[in-house]
Structure 1
Amino acid sequence: MSRPLNKLGARAVQTRPSGKHSDGGGLWLVKTDQKSGYWVLRFTIHGRRREMGLGSIAVVSLKAAREDATKWRAVAASGLDPIVERERLAREAARNLHLLKDLTDDCFEALKKSLKKEGKAGRWRSPLDLHVLPKLGKTPVSQIGQIDIRDALKGIWTTKPDPARKALNRISVVFKHAAALGLDVDLQAPAKARALLGAQGHKWEHIPAVPWPEVADFYASIGDGTVTHLALRLLILTGVRSAPLRFIRLDQIEGDVWTIPAQNMKGREGKTEDFRVPLSAEALRVIEQAKPLARDGWLFPSVRKGVISDATMSRLMERRGMKERPHGFRSSLRDWMAEATTTPHDIAETMLGHSVGGSVERAYRRTDFLAQRRAIMEQWASVVTGKTIAESSVADAA
């Protein structure tokens, strides 16, 4: 026989004296005095009688108490302990209250050691700090969807496409970090936001490069023996990026091999393999010319302190009215290998310090093709110095 429900009235809640008063169905009003009291739900689970507090009458109305009682009676009827289930839900809710700002901090700390320049001074997270966290930083990650991300970035999506793209990528990384922590987060939200934002209307352009047959003329024009000219000459001869070239140290050179520390190589963050660069006779001649200008172990020091800046070599080309930039000489080298030699793909990519193949393939292939690359570097030096631009073949070296 079912127990009668709703035996109390709203006025009774306020006027009943101290004591316990049943509303039916296991819901009880417990008055501590005529003005104060609280709600209790009594139920039996697995043969055990239990009481569950539902809140003070000052906060929880009679209607709300009855709704809670109905909900928890259904939980008990399903075989679950309402008290245990409520605690579980509370823990889950607390776990999902992590704010985007806090998750960004935690994610950045976890990534920082694997980042190269992006980790310095928080450059990795700056797109989030500038464009996302001011709007969404205090929002729990579990509550952030594609609409929120779209609204945060739509103001800069077409006007500042590069920061916007980076911000969206960083959000995706933070969301994956949150998911790894066990948080309830929509991993597809960044991709959905990208679809909602649409095209950026921005055409990405490759860095202009000097055509390889014209490199010799430019090389001949930078022969005044200054730090900038010598640095640019070595950059052209080795095909390396600007950063490792600018930070080259005398103790990194042994014989005709320059060993670049792994942390100075783009794309090798978190890895321990250094990168060996074979030096041609012309490259060694440039290094010998630069040694008298070296300071504090740096082969290409700046006028004041440290090494030459990233813009120093670019400014030289800019002042000459050239649209090409130093980084483009890597393309000049790559185009020469593709058009004028028979250099195998893997060796050509290794020449530029690119990773070749998947992780398993790289794990089994331990060679860095140093001997083959040494021969190619000598041929490239001949092209650069104008000794030959004739069609070459490195089939024997490969």
Structure 2
Amino acid sequence: MRATNRLSAKAAAALGPGKYADGAGLWLVKEETARGKWVLRVTVHGRRREMGLGAFPAVPLAEARKHADAARAKVRAGLDPIKERQREKREAARNLHLLKDIALDAFESRKAELKGDGKAGRWFSPLERHILPKLGKVPVADIDQADIRDCLLPIWHSKAETARKAINRLSLCLKHAAALGLEVDLQATEKARALLGKPRHKSGNIPALPWQDVPAFYDSLNDGTVTHLALRLLILTGVRSLPLRFLHESQIDGDVWTIPAEAMKGRRDATADFRVPLVPESLAVIEAAQAHARDGFLFPSVRKGVISDATMARLMERREMEARPHGFRSSLRDWLAEATDAPHEVAETMLGHVVGGSVERAYRRTDFLEQRRALLARWAQYVTGQSGQLVRMAY
């Protein structure tokens, strides 16, 4: 009888339950006539090993022989074919875990803890703009400090704050990959920082318009467009750009605008909605904005969604102004400090800042709504050129 190739395809299909040798260690083990499995017996480093080569008849005889020949070649090379197959599977699995997929998965996992479930895209954008174009298609297990350094070097000094956010997000992605059981270098980002050195550029405060110059700028926002109206309400209320841009008619009840907690920076508690008193000038701006409303949103963009922060910023850039929209919060805060005697806790609450420790906040239940209303009314009078008198608070 032949030492190898003892079986034929026709005979293998007809054989009943049992073990049948094809030769040179290849066996067909049948549980019943219709199905079975291929097993290769080899000796590696003096130890007998059995290696499965697939199910029969899904793997036909000819294919089983090819697999067996490849495994025997590994044995002749001094390798364990079973361990080599496991290694190859790990390599294949690793190559499926590209950084772009890990980054998206990490983003999805963190959406619940981000403002508005991350719909504004600020968490993901540093990765999307500065990391993924170069490293997105690289297996996460292959990313090292040199890759990260080369990726961020162009912006490390010129856009230090953006680079810092990008490398921090990347570090979270690597930790996410490790939590998934992938082999990654968790120290790669710290090593990259060492290679990049300390950023020369220091981020500063967002430029603000001096409060003395706000009335003239407010007066120039007079064409009734969405951008002009949004900037006017931003100035009048002192809120951040995000909740203003996503202002919905349902959030307004009479002369109070309630901003949902998830839209307030630093207010993750579901009960920490923030009330903004709406003075007559603010209500007039809102009434004008309702003519532009789409799906209930008062400040829609031209195509879809709401206007972006960049839209308002570009208006100021075109006028060659250094100040930016967010800076109007500083303008208001400086006016409160220099032109009123508003208590610190009232002035800080006007900007939505958390004031005092947890115990103090637990006992202080007020949000100073009426005190803030009086201050915002005088602020509105000031920015519209009606008054610049000192405001004294009544207690």
TM-score between the two structures when normalised by the length of structure 2: 0.66
Superposition deviation, residue 381 in structure 1: 2.6
What residue in structure 1 maps to residue 109 of structure 2? 110
C-alpha separation between the residues in 2 aligned to 1:312 and 1:103?
32
Instruction: Write the deviation string for residues 35-87 of structure 1: whole angstroms up to 9, x where unpaired.
Output: 997325689xxxxxxx656995521358667xx9xxxxxxxxxxxxxx9xx9x
Instruction: Write the deviation string for residues 258-286 of structure 1: whole angstroms up to 9, x where unpaired.
Output: 11234444555795643211122332344
CA RMSD across the alignment:
4.6
1:201 aligns with 2:166: no
Superposition deviation, residue 324 in structure 1: 2.5
What residue in structure 2 maps to residue 171 of structure 1? 170
C-alpha separation between the residues in 1 aligned to 2:391 and 2:124?
46
Aligned with 2:198: secondary structure? coil
Report % sequence identity. Answer: 61
Tell me: CA distance 1:41–1:162, structure 2 relative to 1, closer, same or farther (3 Å).
Answer: same
Q: Check the 8 A contact 1:248/1:300 in 2, yes or no.
A: yes
What residue in structure 1 maps to residue 59 of structure 2? none
What residue in structure 1 maps to residue 73 of structure 2? 58
C-alpha separation between the residues in 2 aligned to 1:155 and 1:303?
34
What residue in structure 2 maps to residue 329 of structure 1? 328
Q: Check the 8 A contact 2:157/2:199 in 1, yes or no.
A: yes
Instruction: Write the deviation string for residues 197-250 of structure 1: whole angstroms up to 9, x where unpaired.
Output: 123433434332221123233334445655544433222110112343233333
C-alpha separation between the residues in 1 aligned to 2:118 and 2:274?
21
Aligned with 2:169: secondary structure? helix
C-alpha separation between the residues in 1 aligned to 2:159 and 2:276?
37
Q: Which amino acid aligns with 2:74?
A: V
What residue in structure 1 maps to residue 382 of structure 2? 383
1:213 aligns with 2:212: yes
Superposition deviation, residue 149 in structure 1: 2.1
C-alpha separation between the residues in 1 aligned to 2:190 and 2:379?
44
Aligned with 2:322: secondary structure? coil
Q: Check the 8 A contact 2:145/2:188 in 1, yes or no.
A: yes
Aligned with 1:59: secondary structure? helix
C-alpha separation between the residues in 1 aligned to 2:79 and 2:305?
70
Q: Check the 8 A contact 1:39/1:57 in 2, yes or no.
A: no
Tell me: CA distance 1:293–1:127, structure 2 relative to 1, closer, same or farther (3 Å).
Answer: closer
Tell me: CA distance 1:173–1:366, structure 2 relative to 1, closer, same or farther (3 Å).
Answer: farther
Q: Which amino acid aligns with 1:238?
A: T
Tell me: CA distance 1:103–1:351, structure 2 relative to 1, closer, same or farther (3 Å).
Answer: same
What residue in structure 1 maps to residue 241 of structure 2? 242
Question: Between Structure 1 and Structure 2, how many residues are aligned?
Answer: 342
Q: Check the 8 A contact 2:275/2:369 in 1, yes or no.
A: yes
Q: Check the 8 A contact 1:161/1:200 in 2, yes or no.
A: yes
Tell me: CA distance 1:361–1:173, structure 2 relative to 1, closer, same or farther (3 Å).
Answer: farther
C-alpha separation between the residues in 1 aligned to 2:78 and 2:185?
35
Instruction: Write the deviation string for residues 283-304 of structure 1: whole angstroms up to 9, x where unpaired.
Output: 2344345555656534445677
Q: Check the 8 A contact 2:167/2:189 in 1, yes or no.
A: yes
Tell me: CA distance 1:357–1:191, structure 2 relative to 1, closer, same or farther (3 Å).
Answer: farther
Aligned with 2:203: secondary structure? coil
Q: Which amino acid aligns with 2:207?
A: P
Superposition deviation, residue 194 in structure 1: 1.7
C-alpha separation between the residues in 2 aligned to 1:319 and 1:129?
27
C-alpha separation between the residues in 1 aligned to 2:266 and 2:230?
22
What residue in structure 1 maps to residue 274 of structure 2? 275
C-alpha separation between the residues in 1 aligned to 2:314 and 2:125?
26
Map 1:287-326 → 2, pairs under 5 A: 287-291=286-290, 297-300=296-299, 310-311=309-310, 313-326=312-325
Tell me: CA distance 1:174–1:386, structure 2 relative to 1, closer, same or farther (3 Å).
Answer: same
What residue in structure 2 maps to residue 190 of structure 1? 189
TM-score between the two structures when normalised by the length of structure 1: 0.66
Q: Check the 8 A contact 1:96/1:183 in 2, yes or no.
A: no
Superposition deviation, residue 326 in structure 1: 2.7
Q: Report the more deviating stretch, 263-272 or 160-169.
A: 263-272
Q: Which amino acid aligns with 1:58?
A: A
Superposition deviation, residue 117 in structure 1: 7.4
Gaps of 5+ in 2: 5-22, 27-39, 52-69
Q: Which amino acid aligns with 1:169?
A: N
C-alpha separation between the residues in 1 aligned to 2:358 and 2:173?
24
C-alpha separation between the residues in 2 aligned to 1:292 and 1:137?
43
Superposition deviation, residue 129 in structure 1: 4.5
Q: Check the 8 A contact 1:213/1:389 in 2, yes or no.
A: no
Q: Which amino acid aligns with 2:215?
A: A
Q: Report the more deviating stretch, 256-265 or 350-359.
A: 350-359
Aligned with 1:209: secondary structure? coil
